[in-house]
Amino acid sequence: MSNQAKHIDILKKLQEKYDAQSEDTENYLEGLLYGKSLTYWDYIHTDALLSLQTQRTTYPDEMVFIAYHQINELIFKMILWEISQIADKKELSRDFFESKLMRISRYFDMLTTSFNIMREGMDPKQYGKFRHTLTPASGFQSAQFRLIEFSSTELINLIDARFRETIDRNTPFEHALEHLYWQAAGKDYKSGQKSSLLTNFEKRYKEEFITFMKTYNTKNLWLRFKDLPQKDQESKTLIKAMRHYDYTVNITWVMAHYKAATHYILGKEGNGEATGGSDWQKYMHPKYQKRIFFPELWTKEEKDNWGHQ
Ligand code: HEM
């Protein structure tokens, strides 16, 4: 039932709000009289969302492939959303940091455990056919995945291990980008030549990446962790959460991904070649990439054995 006293109170607050903006409250109230009531499908944009799965072939399992990649991109967006809240928080507390980090980890856990949709969820025969229409594209070109990396750790941890000694905080960002670990997927360091996978990716995103790298050079997850009081940085539960996130992104997810690639590319129907054309068996394995977001939270032995578990 309506409550008259409450109405008057709300009207008063509305009046104050619109007066402060020099706006006419009556016009807004009248708008309520004629406005359509909201529906689930308008709010969620269900029709638009469900019209985005466009197959390039008639193989039914291509739909699984497209939809699952899109789901990943949406979850990546949610992860970046949580990271930006930690990055931009003025007075960061341990509780806030930890609860957001747990959300991020939960999303990555979900991506890892659901990866069997990719490994078991498609018919290798069909995959072996529709994949040819995707060349030279690859999930490698997911820009959001790269943004998650840039915003999680210090840039030096994303540099190809062979060049880490030659790069520091004074190195221009463009030069650092040329030596990121993922260049190894398509760059011949002797000739400087790059594959279409890389040139297309950089043509589209290089400028955005450099701006983003600069921004997160001062507020990535590691630096925000270091902004916490010493006592909080030593918290066992927080350290456990940081290590869990690091391990899930850089070992568990990577291995689930690697196993899917092995299943389809090296299985009976595969020809060994990835759509992006990388030397993927070497490139993708965590023991070669040695990508670790928070190296200070791991022992020397753990780092030496990274990806060998
Ligand atoms: C059957 C499923 C999949 C296969 C066979 C596969 C295969 C590959 C291969 C071979 C690469 C190395 C680059 C290349 O030469 O193409 C790669 C990279 C990558 N893929 Fe996938 N992928 C699959 C699913 C996914 C999904 C669902 C995502 C989520 C968006 C994804 C995201 C990525 C990312 C981010 C990279 C770059 C990883 C890095 O630089 O270490 N992939 N994938």
Q: How close is the Cα of 98 to the center of ligand 1, in Å?
A: 29
Domain ranges of the chain: 59-157+219-304
pTM of the shown model: 0.94
**Distance of CA 89 from the midpoint of ligand 1 (Å):** 33
Using pLDDT thresholds of 50, 70 and 90, give the confidence band for residue 189.
Answer: confident
Which sign does the torsion angle of CA 213, 108, 121, 59 carry?
A: negative
Helix%, strand%, coil% for the chain, nearest 5: 70, 0, 30
Condensed to tens digits (0 to 9), the pLDDT of residues 242-298 reads: 999 999 999 999 999 999 999 999 888 788 888 888 888 888 999 988 899 999 999
**258 C-alpha to ligand 1 centroid (Å):** 8
In total, the chain counts a number of residues equal to 309
Say yes or no: CB of residue 76 within 6 Å of ligand 1. no
Q: Ligand 1 within 6 A of 112 CB? A: no
Compute, in angstroms, the gap from residue 197 CA to the centroid of ligand 1: 12
- Does ligand 1 lie within 6 Å of residue 278's CB atom? yes
pLDDT digits (tens, 9 = 90+) for 117-143: 999 999 999 999 999 999 999 999 999
- Distance, in Å, from the CA atom of 168 to the CA atom of 164, rounded to the nearest integer, reads 8
Fold of 59-157+219-304: Methane Monooxygenase Hydroxylase; Chain G, domain 1 (1.20.58)
Measured from the CB, is residue 201 less than 6 Å from ligand 1? Answer: no
Give the pLDDT confidence score for residue 1 in this predicted structure.
Answer: 55
Q: How large is the angle between the packed helices 236-247 and 94-113, nearest 10 degrees?
A: 30
- Report whether residue 284 contacts ligand 1, using a CB cutoff of 6 Å: yes
